[in-house]
Amino acid sequence: MKDRPIGMFDSGLGGLTVMRSVIDRLPREHVIYLGDDARGPYGPRDIDEVRRFAREIIDYLLGFDVKMVVIACNSATAAVLEEAQRDYNIPVVGVIAPGARAALRRSRRLNIGVIGTRCTIGSGSYERAIARLDSRARVFSRACPEFVEFVERGEVSGDHIMEIAMGHLEPMLESGIDTLIMGCTHYPLLEGLLHQAVGPDVILISSADETASEVEDILDRLGWLREDGPGRHVFLTTGDVEKSVTLGRLFLGPEVSDVSHVSLDFDLHPELDLEPAPEGSMGVEGDEL
């Protein structure tokens, strides 16, 4: 079990912000990352449709014998996490509970703001996750549907996006939030702008590090942490390979040199070579897929 890969997915490349934290914390683990770029973004979609897509992807990842699935997408976590944890017999980790936990740890007045996609905010998942952990907390949430498009265009600063951000955040600031959860995998790329928008007294929370810590805790508890390293990292997309490489570098870093296209055809799982990569190599196997 230890040497099996971790499967991770997102509607596209935003989840690579979570992958970054997982591979920094657990460099020995093999990780297969699948971005559903052909059907992303999920944020504007109906939650039942997102649930269906997410289940298809989890089923596909199981074909690689993964030992755990990380739903590195807030919208997909909101849609499918609870039923996936019930229906699959390997651990399934989402990004919402870790974000909620991190916010409660840092918030002084328990006045927590959450921003995310329409799918995530409409689901009420953050409110439920926070209430389960601390019923005294007050949550102010708001969908910021424009942000994903801005990030994907590489537009992460400037007057236009700042004006939109202030339109969303001012009402929350007036409500007295002291902590703001970036409840979308794209938003950590807007951290500089958001920090400027909310000012120095509001703490920004990204769930990536906390999710990585949960992944480690679960694998450790099960005795499933990989002992030899380094791990290999495989990047798959249902969409356009070139766009995935360009944006992948923005989200994860220069390690994304090779991305392979896959269709979610259950009978067509590419052969993955997960032998230990040579020292210093990220071991992307794209060419062989």
Query: What amino acid positions are annotated as catalytic residues?
Result: 73, 184
**Which residue from 184, 194, 277, 284 is in contact with ligand DGL, where contact means CB under 6 A?**
184
Q: CB neighbours of 269 closer than 8 A, spacing ≥ 6? A: 60, 63, 64
CB 269 within 8 A of CB 64: yes
- Shortest distance, position 233 Cβ to ligand DGL, whole Å: 19
Number of residues located near ligand DGL, criterion CB under 6 A: 18
35 binds ligand DGL (CB under 6 A): no
Q: Measure Cα distances from 212 to 107, 155, 205 in Å.
A: 21, 27, 14
Site string for ligand DGL, 94-133 (x = CB under 6 A): ----------------------xx--x-------------
40 binds ligand DGL (CB under 6 A): yes
- Shortest distance, position 77 Cβ to ligand DGL, whole Å: 8
| Stretch touching ligand DGL by CB under 6 A, among 36-44, 121-129, 227-235, 242-250 | 36-44
Question: SS3 for 1?
Answer: coil
**Which residue from 6, 9, 11, 208 is in contact with ligand DGL, where contact means CB under 6 A?**
11
Distance CA 169, CA 216 (A): 33
Question: SS3 for 276?
Answer: coil
CB 13 within 8 A of CB 243: no
Q: Is the CB of 113 or the CB of 231 nearer to ligand DGL?
A: 113
CB 163 within 8 A of CB 94: no
Distance CA 106, CA 204 (A): 9
188 binds ligand DGL (CB under 6 A): no
**Which residue from 6, 7, 9, 10 is in contact with ligand DGL, where contact means CB under 6 A?**
10
Q: What angle do CA 251, 180, 212 make, to 5 degrees?
A: 45
Residues of this chain that bind ligand DGL (CB under 6 A): 10-11, 14-15, 40-43, 73-75, 116-117, 120, 148, 184-186
